[in-house]
C-alpha cells in the first residue's frame, strides 16, 4: 500500500482538519523500476492507469508497472474538455460507450476518490431539417441499444437553455436537439489521480519521468521488455496506451504503420463567471463546437482538430478564432467574457473515427489507440477492456469489434460517415 494513503472518509477528513492536515501521506509511491514485470503499460494517462488498476483488481495481476515519460496528468488527460457521453450509433461503439457510462456512475465509490462525475446531461443541437432527420435516427438507434436519448424540438431546447441564440437570423439557427440525461462531465485530473492511487494501493508501480525509447526482443522476434531513460525493463507483455504517440511507439516495436494520424486538438477555458450553463451543449454538423461550465465557473469549450499533422502541444490562431466565433454565435452572452487560457492535446485520429483495442502483429505488444475525440469519456471502459485483453489474450465482449484487423478486412466502424479520411473526422 502507498505509504500513508489509506481510505478517505468523512471521519478521516474531520480528524485531519482538527489536526492541521498533518497526517496525509503520499497518494501513491515513487518506486524505482524493478528488473522485470508481468505487464508493462506504456503511458500514464487515464487509459494506462485504468488498465493497470483493472489488471490488479479484476485479474489479480499485481506485478504491473505504468511508465510515464512525464508526470501523471501532464499529457492529454489534463488537456481535454472533460465531456462524457454515449451518443454513438454503430455496432462496436454503442455497447462500448454505454458500458463506459455504467462504469462512470460507480467510479468514485469504486476508487474511494471523488472524480467529480456530474451527470448534468448533454444537449446535441441540430440546425436544419436534414440534421433533424440524422438526429432522430441517432436517437432511435441509441434507444434501441439501451442508451438514454430524447429528441427535443426548438421550444424544449429553449426551455433548458434560454440564453442560446434562438433568433431566426442566427448563423446556427437552432431547430432542436438530442438530449442525453445520463451524460455529463468529470474532473480530468481527479480521474487520473483516483486510478493512480487505487492501482498503487494494490501494488502497481507507477513510474514517472521514464520515457520508453525502444523495445527488447528475443530471437523469435517476441517483445520481452522496453528500453527506457531509466534502463532496460523486462516484461512478459507490453501494453501501449500513448494516444497521439501511438504510431511512434508502434514503429519502435516493429508493428509497422498504423491507420492513425496525429493531430492537435485545442481546448479553451474562460475566466470564472457565475453559474451560467448547467448542462453540456454541443453541435457537429454545420459547424463543430462543445461547451460546459466547470465547477470553478470557467466556461470550457472546444471545436475541430487542427487540419494538419503535428506533435506540438500548442495550437494555431485560426482555430482559436473559429471556436471563439462559434461560442459567441451560439451563446451571445459570452461575447464579453475573457479567455483565460488554451492548450492542445495530441489526438490519435484513426481512419474510421473509432478506437482500437487489440493485439498487434508483434507477439507481446498490445495496442490501445485511435480514440480521436473520445478518449476521456472512454477511460473506464477502455481500462476494463484493455486489462481483459492483456490478462486473457481475448477481447472483452463490448470491445470485440474494435480490432486492428478491421482496416485490412474493410469492415471499418465509420461512426461519422465521412469515409477513411482523418481530416474529415
Pick the CATH number of 122-183+262-350 from 3.30.479.10, 3.40.190.10, 3.30.9.10, 1.10.3660.10: 3.30.9.10
| Packing angle of the helix pair 188-201, 46-59 (nearest 10 deg) | 30
Q: Please give the angle made by the CA atoms of 230, 198 and 38, to the nearest 5 degrees.
A: 50
How far is residue 371's CA from residue 353's CA, in Å, rounded to a whole number? 7
User: What's the confidence (pLDDT) of residue 299?
Assistant: 97
Is there a contact between 184 and 119 (Cβ–Cβ < 8 Å)?
Answer: yes
Mean local confidence (pLDDT), 263-282 = 96
For residue range 326-339, list pLDDT tens digits in order: 999 999 999 999 99
Statement: residue 152 has pLDDT above 90: yes
What is the pLDDT averaged over residues 75-83? 86
pLDDT at 407: 92
**Alpha helices of 24-85 — where are they, by DSSP H?**
46-59
The 10 Å Cβ neighbour count of residue 220 is 7
Backbone angles phi, psi at 185, to 5 degrees: -140, 165
H-type helices in 174-316, by residue range? 188-201, 246-253
Least confident residue range of 125-129, 227-231, 407-411, 418-422: 418-422
Q: Which residues contact 78 (CB under 8 A, 6 or more apart)?
A: 188, 189, 192
Up-side HSE of residue 295: CA atoms within 13 Å toward CB?
A: 13
Give the model's confidence band at 4: pLDDT under 50 very low, under 70 low, under 90 confident, else very high. Answer: very low
Rounded CA gap, 111 and 265, in Å?
29
pLDDT over 70, % of the chain: 97
Under 8 Å between Cβ of 47 and 55:
no
Please report the DSSP string for 167-184 in residue order.
-TT-TT---EEEEETT-E
Over residues 141-156, the mean pLDDT reads: 96
Torsions phi, psi for 369 (to 5 deg): -160, 180
> What is the reported pLDDT for 417?
62
Query: Which CATH code fits 31-86+88-113+187-259+352-424?
Result: 3.50.50.60
Report residue 103 as a C-alpha cell.
462504469
Intervals of CATH 3.30.9.10 along the chain:
122-183+262-350
| Residue owning grid cell 490562431 | 317
Q: CB–CB of 180/218 below 8 Å?
A: no
Asked if 186 and 118 touch (Cβ cutoff 8 Å), the reply is: yes
Helix (H, G, I), strand (E, B) or coil at 212: strand
CB 203 within 8 A of CB 56: yes
Confidence (pLDDT) at 164:
97
Whether 176 and 154 have beta carbons less than 8 Å apart is answered as yes
Cα Rg for the chain, rounded, in angstroms? 22
Mean pLDDT of 239-257: 95
Model confidence pLDDT, tens digit, residues 16-51: 999 899 888 889 999 999 999 999 999 999 999 999
Residue 240: in which H helix or E strand, if any?
A: strand 231-240
- Label residue 80 by pLDDT band (50, 70, 90): confident
Ranges in the chain annotated CATH 3.50.50.60: 31-86+88-113+187-259+352-424
DSSP state of 54: H
> pLDDT class for 371, splitting at 50, 70, 90?
very high
DSSP structural state of residue 418: S
Give the three cell numbers for residue 156: 424544449
- What pLDDT, on the 0 to 100 scale, is given for residue 1? 41
- Average pLDDT of the chain is 93
CA distances from 62 to 65, 112, 240, 301 (A): 9, 19, 18, 38
Q: What is the pTM of this model?
A: 0.94
Amino acid at each position: 500500500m502507498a505509504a500513508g494513503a489509506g481510505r478517505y472518509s468523512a471521519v478521516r477528513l474531520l480528524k485531519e482538519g482538527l489536526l492541521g492536515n498533518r497526517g496525509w501521506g503520499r497518494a501513491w509511491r515513487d518506486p524505482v523500476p524493478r528488473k522485470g514485470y508481468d505487464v508493462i503499460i506504456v503511458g500514464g494517462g487515464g487509459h494506462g492507469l485504468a488498465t493497470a488498476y483493472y489488471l490488479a483488481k479484476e485479474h489479480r495481476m499485481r506485478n504491473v508497472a505504468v511508465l510515464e515519460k512525464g508526470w501523471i496528468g501532464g499529457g492529454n488527460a489534463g488537456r481535454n474538455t472533460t465531456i462524457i457521453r454515449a451518443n454513438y450509433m454503430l455496432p462496436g461503439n454503442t455497447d462500448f460507450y454505454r458500458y463506459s457510462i455504467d462504469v462512470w456512475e460507480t467510479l468514485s465509490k469504486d476508487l474511494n476518490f471523488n472524480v467529480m462525475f456530474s451527470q448534468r446531461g448533454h444537449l446535441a443541437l441540430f440546425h436544419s431539417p436534414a440534421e433533424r432527420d440524422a438526429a432522430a435516427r441517432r436517437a432511435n438507434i441509441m434507444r434501441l441499444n439501451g442508451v438514454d436519448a430524447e429528441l427535443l424540438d426548438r421550444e424544449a431546447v429553449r426551455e433548458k437553455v434560454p440564453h442560446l441564440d434562438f433568433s431566426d437570423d442566427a448563423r446556427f439557427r437552432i431547430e432542436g436537439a438530442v438530449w442525453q440525461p445520463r451524460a455529463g462531465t468529470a474532473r480530468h485530473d481527479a480521474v487520473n489521480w483516483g486510478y493512480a492511487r487505487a492501482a498503487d494501493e494494490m501494488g502497481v508501480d507507477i513510474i514517472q519521468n521514464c520515457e520508453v525509447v525502444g523495445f527488447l526482443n528475443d530471437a523469435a522476434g517476441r517483445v520481452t521488455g522496453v528500453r527506457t531513460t531509466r534502463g532496460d525493463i523486462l516484461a512478459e507483455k507490453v501494453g501501449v496506451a500513448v494516444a497521439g504517440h501511438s504510431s511512434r511507439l508502434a514503429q519502435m516495436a516493429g508493428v509497422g504503420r498504423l491507420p492513425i494520424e496525429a493531430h492537435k486538438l485545442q481546448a479553451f477555458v474562460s475566466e470564472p463567471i457565475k453559474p451560467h450553463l448547467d448542462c453540456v451543449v454541443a453541435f457537429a454538423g454545420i459547424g463543430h463546437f462543445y461547451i460546459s461550465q466547470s465547477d470553478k465557473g470557467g466556461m470550457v469549450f472546444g471545436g475541430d482538430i487542427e487540419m494538419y499533422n503535428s506533435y506540438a502541444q500548442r495550437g494555431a490562431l485560426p482555430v482559436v478564432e473559429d471556436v471563439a466565433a462559434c461560442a459567441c454565435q451560439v451563446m451571445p452572452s459570452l461575447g464579453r467574457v475573457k479567455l483565460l487560457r488554451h492548450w492542445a492535446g495530441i489526438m490519435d485520429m484513426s481512419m474510421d473515427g473509432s478506437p482500437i483495442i487489440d493485439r498487434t502483429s508483434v507477439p507481446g505488444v498490445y495496442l490501445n489507440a485511435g480514440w480521436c475525440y473520445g478518449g476521456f469519456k472512454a477511460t473506464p471502459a477502455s481500462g476494463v477492456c484493455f486489462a481483459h485483453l492483456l490478462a486473457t489474450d481475448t477481447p472483452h465482449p463490448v470491445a470485440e469489434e474494435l480490432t486492428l484487423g478491421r482496416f485490412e478486412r474493410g469492415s471499418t466502424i465509420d461512426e461519422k460517415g465521412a469515409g477513411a479520411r482523418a481530416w474529415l473526422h
